[in-house]
Chains A and B, each alone.
Chain A
Amino acid sequence: MRTSLRGTTAALATLAVLSLAACGSGDSGDGGSGDATGDGGSGGDAVTITWWHNSNTGEGKDYYDQVAKDFEDANPGVTIEVSAMQHEDMGTKLDAAMQSGDMPDIFMERGGGELRDKVDAGLVKDITDQVGDQLDVIGGQAAGWQVDGQTYALPFSLGVVGFWYNKDLFEQAGITDTPTTWDEFYDVLDKLEAAGITPISVGAGDKWPAAHYWYYFALRQCSEDTIKDTVASLEFTDECWVRAGEDLEQLVAAEPFNPGFLTTAAQSGATSASGLLATGKVAMELAGHWEPGVMQGLTEDGQGLGEATGWFAFPEVDGGDGAEGAALGGGDAWAASADAPDEAVEFIKYLLSDEVQQGFAELDMGLPTNPAARDSVSDPALAQLLEVRDSAPFVQLYFDTEFGQSIGGAMNDAIALLFAGQATPQDIVDQTQAAADAEK
């Protein structure tokens, strides 16, 4: 028995050693063959571009596959590896890719402070010289993706935030005109309350939907110059930032929001802020251009609010220094990683071409930035948004994006606390300033 046990052990040990050795040789074998193909690839003048995007379903995915194929056909030797991912997955993967340095050649970029950080870390390619003409076409819309006068990405969709509302519920409450000032807005709230309708849903559980209110009040209270100076200096000393919080405090005090709004999610499920609007439980919600699409996904018939979908701009604030009609928004741009081949930048230019942007607009995949695609937008609500965006004196990037995640996160947290009645307008400014000081 003893011998046999020992024999077994010995056999096991031998097996284990052998398998370890096999692993070792397997690894080196893989590495070797990998290198070999790598050499072969670069030897043959062929270029492979990796492209990550988030149109991972239906027509949008097919469209982008076709776009990649068209580019390959027009540029022999170029291969585009398309990875269509779910939006959150893409974000996680991008974070990991940036940490490891093994980045896709073309990726989506939201601009602002996040982009500045990546530029500082040397992760993003300066494409200013190569995209010249395409940049002229897009014009000032690219401002959020420029750092120190250099362009690092081209926005392909730029949306604005405003109030999406349920026309039927407004009618039911006897509201004929959408409000353009805050006095009118409070009248609307009163009428809705009187009709037994919860006026507004807000996903304060996710913080940013709540923060959009403060951003917009700040945009109404602060002049464009003040905002620009603050972005550069990170000094929130102007009184207008406090006034924004006071306006918001007044709105929160009117209690227009859905029950449980402090933990309500933005857009996941029927009980999220978007879900409540889509199912007729509330009359309106402050959200971006994505809202009709999100609502369609949250209703069983896939229609969202359908014909009852309405939109109006964030009302003007009396006595504010903000430019009339200024819009809060944000979008997505195509950026190239620092070591991406030149062909990748050519592909980005192609993605912004009249042709590709028109197809993009026809499928309602977003709000195109190329003016040539303006008339191709088929959805009436999106077409209306496009008009608002293009007539706005300027589109301010969401402040959390503009100031970067560190400052923006602190800002959003403080704003969410104000919604809970646990922070004052001055607290928002102080906590944002503290986060900004830590960045300097």
Chain B
Amino acid sequence: MTTADSAPGAPSAQVPPLEAALNARAASRRGRRRGGVDVRTALEVTLFVAPALVLMAVFIVWPVLRAVQWSFFRWKGYGPLEDFVGLRNYVSVLTSEVFQGAVLHNLIIVVASIAIQLPLGLLIALLLNRRIRGRAALRTIIFVPYVLAEVIAGVVWVQLLQPQYGIIDQWLGALGLPSPEQGWLGTPDLALSTVIVVLSWKYLGMAVILLLAGMQGVPDELSEAAQIDGASYWRTQWHITFPLLGPTMRTWAFLSMIGSLQLFDMVWILTKGGPANATTTMATFLLTEGQRRSNYGIASAASVVLFVVALVLALLYQRFILSRDNTVDRPAKTPRPRRSTPKAVTA
């Protein structure tokens, strides 16, 4: 401890050779960085990061900037950009009842996805984390919907949900249960709920796999200790597994939220945003305005609004929820001396 603290990173005689070499390397680097620009590191960074940066610039930054530019013009998708309309496109997007509905639907899907998939995912992950017969097969079954292409899954559900002729309605009929006359997707009051059910089926697999991975990282010693202290299974999960899964849950919820905000393909295949705009999302709105109506200015304004909404929510989430997970990393930045010390002491 003393050696390490007094001269951080300095090799000590008792340290194994490889570790010593690494420490020396780290020390020499630090020394050089203090002395000026580390040309090699800069080169390395540039070399490895450049391709990614170029791709991002071409496929992300540039389109975003173009969308912002288009959003200030009335433009049909061809010909020169001449008809500058200022903020008019934004006004028509934000005052559009269809767009307001779309934002509401997105938010409902964000909340519903997390509220349904998190508890269900936790339960299934707990089940699959125990040694039960056929665990591998069960894991695969749970995960298959997520692996399926969105379009294929969507088309299958459209067929299952066909009014009268669809399997679901036929089963319900066989059980003597009524099904909606216009079908689950064709009834405006039911369409969004139906879409959410399909989405939950599709994405539950991802929650389960992530949570399972998180559970593998929970040390067995902790639950064993709790069990010795007489804690029941549920108490153990509630006080040990779930808190330690926090970072995983928060990360999953973040991914789920962004996915829900950008939701397009499944809705488009199931309902095209209908019936009577009951399932429009921001993404279906902007596609309808752009591709179908050739109002590229309005579509661009809608996409900028979507971008801002997603960005703001993402930043807020980072700041207030994920920040806890991020701060955990910081003390870990100087682990090397500490790790070597106990070894030195024991040796």
Which residues in A have some Cβ–Cβ distance to B below 8 Å? 1-2, 6, 9, 12-13, 16, 95, 98-99, 101, 114, 117-118, 120-123, 204-206, 259-264, 271, 281, 404-406, 408-410, 413, 416-417, 420-422, 438
Contact = CB atoms under 8 A, between A and B. Distances in A.
A114 B292 CA distance: 12
Contact of B293 (A261, A264, A410): A410
A417 B275 CA distance: 8
Given A120-B79, A121-B79, A259-B163, A406 B183 contact: no
A422 B47 contact: no
Given A117-B76, A206-B272, A416-B274, A260 B294 contact: no
Interchain residue pairs A-B with the least CB separation, the first 4: A121-B79, A262-B275, A260-B183, A420-B276
A263 B271 contact: yes
B30 interface: no
B44 A123 contact: no
**Main secondary structure on A side of the interface with B:** helix
A405 B292 contact: yes
Interface in B250-301: 270-272, 274-277, 288, 291-295
A195 B257 CA distance: 51
A214 to B, nearest CB: 16
Contact of B274 (A95, A205, A271, A421): A205
A174 B182 CA distance: 27
Given A206-B272, A417-B276, A420-B275, A121 B185 contact: no
B236 interface: no
B25 interface: yes
Contacts of B292: 405, 409
A261 B288 CA distance: 20
B78 A420 contact: no
Contacts of A6: 40
12 contacts: A99-B78, A121-B78, A259-B186, A260-B164, A260-B185, A261-B186, A262-B187, A263-B186, A406-B294, A409-B295, A410-B293, A413-B277
A117 B162 CA distance: 39
A259 B181 contact: yes
Interface in B185-233: 185-188, 191
Contacts of B78: 95, 98-99, 101, 117-118, 121, 123
A271 B47 CA distance: 54
B293 A409 contact: yes
A164 B182 CA distance: 23
Contacts, number: 103
B163 A262 contact: no
B140 interface: no
B44 A205 contact: no
B275 A263 contact: yes
Given A262-B274, A263-B183, A413-B277, 14 more contacts: A6-B40, A9-B44, A117-B78, A121-B80, A122-B79, A123-B78, A205-B274, A259-B163, A259-B182, A260-B164, A263-B272, A264-B186, A417-B276, A420-B275
Highest count of chain A CB atoms <10 Å: which of B181, B182, B187: B182
B323 interface: no
Interface in B53-86: 76-80
Nearest to A114: B294
A430 to B, nearest CB: 13
A417 B277 contact: yes
A99 B81 CA distance: 11
Contacts of B274: 204-205, 262-263, 416, 420
B159 interface: yes
Contact of A205 (B47, B164, B271): B271
Nearest to A5: B25
B92 interface: yes
A1 B295 contact: no
Highest count of chain B CB atoms <10 Å: which of A117, A264, A416: A264
B141 interface: no
B291 to A, nearest CB: 8
Interface in B84-107: 92, 98
Contact of A262 (B40, B47, B182, B288): B182
Given A2-B25, A405-B293, A417-B277, A271 B159 contact: yes
A130 to B, nearest CB: 24
B43 interface: yes
B320 interface: no
A16 B292 CA distance: 44
A75 to B, nearest CB: 30
B234 interface: no
Contacts of B295: 406, 409
Nearest to A420: B276
Given A99-B77, A271-B162, A417-B277, A12 B47 contact: yes
Contact of B182 (A206, A261, A410): A261
A117 B181 contact: no
B312 interface: no
B115 interface: no
B106 to A, nearest CB: 19
A202 to B, nearest CB: 12
Contacts of B294: 114, 117, 404-406
Contacts of B44: 9
Highest count of chain A CB atoms <10 Å: which of B159, B270, B293: B293
Nearest to B74: A438
B21 interface: yes
